[in-house]
C-alpha cells in the first residue's frame, strides 16, 4: 500500500468537517473520492499534504507514519498536490512556475528533461513558456499546476477538484492526461471531485464521501452501476 489514511478527524474550531475517515491507495492506482460540495474532500487532501492539522488520525506513506511531518517534508517524501483553483504564481512566467516545482527537492532533477516530457502532453506550456501565468486561461493554469507538481517526480499526486470552473471539453482533456500518466507511466493518483462521472470513468476504485464520512467504496465500475450513486452523483 503506498498511501494509507487511518481514522482521520478534522475540525475547524467548532465545525467538525471529517469524522474518522480511513482509506488507502495502492501503488499504480488511480483512486477517486467523490462527494458533494462541503462533504470534506478538500479538507482530507489538505490533511494528507499536511496543510491543515488533523485532530486525530494517521497518514502513512508505505509504512512510514508522516502524521507529524510538515507539508514541505511530505512533499520531499514524494506527495504532491494540485490544489483547488490551480493556485499558480500569477506574476511568474510559466517557466518560472515550473522551476518552483523542483525547489527544495533532495535529489537533483533534470528539469529540462522533465519539461520536454511534460510539453509532450501539455504543448501550450511550451508555447507560453515566457508569459506570466496570470495571462493563461483557467484550463491552461490547471495544466501548469499539474505540470508543476509533476516535475518533482512525485510518488503520489493529489488532485483537488481539477474540473472546477473548466469547460467540459477541457475537463475531458485534463482527465485524459491524468489517465495517461497513470496508465502509461504508472503514476499513482488520488483525485477528489464533485464531477463524479468524469473522475470515476478514469479511476480504478472510488470512495463516496458524505458529510465527512466515507459511506461507500468499490471498483469504479461497481460505483458507476450502483443506483444510489447514479441518482445522487452521476445525474443518471
Ligand atoms: P468544496 O467542494 O466546496 O471544496 P469539500 O468537499 O472540499 O467542498 P471542504 O472544503 O473540505 O469540503 O469543507 C468541509 C466542511 O468544512 C464544510 O462544512 C466547510 O464549510 C468546512 N470548512 C472548510 N474549511 C474551513 C475553514 N477554514 N474554517 C471553517 N470551516 C471550514
Sorted by where each starts, the structural domains of the chain and their CATH numbers stand as 1-78+155-236 (3.40.50.300), 88-153 (no CATH)
Q: Specify the pTM.
A: 0.95
Residue 198 has pLDDT above 90, yes or no: yes
The pLDDT assigned to 166 comes to: 86
Percent of the chain, pLDDT > 70? 100
Per-residue pLDDT band at 143 (split at 50, 70, 90) = very high
Residues with a CB atom less than 6 Å from ligand 1: 12, 15, 17, 35, 37-43, 161, 194
Q: Which residue has its alpha carbon closest to ligand 1 atom 31?
A: 12
The pLDDT assigned to 131 comes to: 97
The pLDDT assigned to 44 comes to: 97
pLDDT in tens, 57-92: 999 999 899 999 999 999 999 999 999 988 899 999
- Contact (CB, 8 A) for 160 and 192: yes
The pLDDT assigned to 167 comes to: 86
The pLDDT assigned to 104 comes to: 73
Q: Among all chains, which residue has been given the C-alpha cell 487532501?
A: 45
Rg over CA atoms, the chain: 17
- Contact (CB, 8 A) for 160 and 133: no
The pLDDT assigned to 86 comes to: 81
Beta carbons within 10 angstroms of residue 84's beta carbon? 18
The pLDDT assigned to 177 comes to: 94
Nearest Cα neighbor of 37 from 195, 234, 172, 228 is: 195
For residues 27-48, give the mean pLDDT.
96
The pLDDT assigned to 96 comes to: 96
Q: Please provide the average confidence, as pLDDT, over all residues in the chain.
A: 94
Residue 221 has pLDDT above 90, yes or no: yes
Q: Among all chains, which residue has been given the C-alpha cell 494540485?
A: 82
What 3-state DSSP class applies to 117?
A: helix
The pLDDT assigned to 235 comes to: 81
Q: Please choose from 13, 16, 17, 160 the residue to mutate so as to test ligand 1's pocket, defined by most ligand atoms within 8 A of CB.
A: 17
Q: Please choose from 10, 11, 12, 44 the residue to mutate so as to test ligand 1's pocket, defined by most ligand atoms within 8 A of CB.
A: 12
The CA-atom distances, in angstroms, between 229 and each of 5, 38, 45, 71, 80 are 23, 17, 22, 33, 29
pLDDT in tens, 157-175: 999 999 988 888 889 999 9
What is the ipTM, given to two decimal places?
0.93
Residue 106 has pLDDT above 80, yes or no: no
> Three cell numbers at 185?
507511466
CA distance 152 to 234: 34
End-to-end CA distance of the chain: 33
Amino acid at each position: 500500500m503506498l498511501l494509507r489514511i487511518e481514522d482521520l478527524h478534522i475540525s475547524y474550531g467548532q465545525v467538525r468537517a471529517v469524522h474518522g475517515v480511513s482509506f488507502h491507495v495502492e501503488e499504480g492506482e488511480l483512486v477517486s473520492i467523490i462527494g458533494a460540495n462541503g462533504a470534506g474532500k478538500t479538507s482530507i487532501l489538505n490533511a494528507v499534504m499536511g496543510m491543515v492539522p488533523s485532530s486525530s488520525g494517521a497518514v502513512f506513506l508505505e509504512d512510514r507514519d508522516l502524521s507529524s511531518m510538515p507539508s514541505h517534508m511530505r512533499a520531499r517524501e514524494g506527495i504532491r498536490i494540485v490544489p483547488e483553483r490551480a493556485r499558480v504564481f500569477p506574476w511568474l512566467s510559466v517557466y518560472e512556475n515550473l522551476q518552483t516545482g523542483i525547489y527544495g527537492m533532495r535529489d537533483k532533477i533534470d528539469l529540462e528533461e522533465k519539461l520536454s516530457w511534460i510539453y509532450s502532453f501539455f504543448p501550450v506550456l511550451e508555447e507560453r513558456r515566457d508569459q506570466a501565468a496570470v495571462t493563461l486561461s483557467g484550463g491552461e493554469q490547471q495544466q501548469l499546476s499539474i505540470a508543476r507538481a509533476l516535475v518533482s517526480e512525485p510518488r503520489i499526486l493529489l488532485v483537488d477538484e481539477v474540473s472546477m470552473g473548466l469547460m467540459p471539453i477541457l475537463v475531458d482533456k485534463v482527465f485524459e492526461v491524468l489517465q495517461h500518466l497513470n496508465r502509461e507511466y504508472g503514476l499513482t493518483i488520488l483525485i477528489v471531485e464533485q464531477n463524479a462521472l468524469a473522475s470515476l470513468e478514469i479511476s480504478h476504485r472510488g470512495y463516496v464521501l458524505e458529510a465527512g464520512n466515507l459511506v461507500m467504496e468499490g471498483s469504479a465500475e461497481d460505483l458507476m452501476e450502483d443506483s444510489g450513486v447514479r441518482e445522487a452523483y452521476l445525474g443518471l
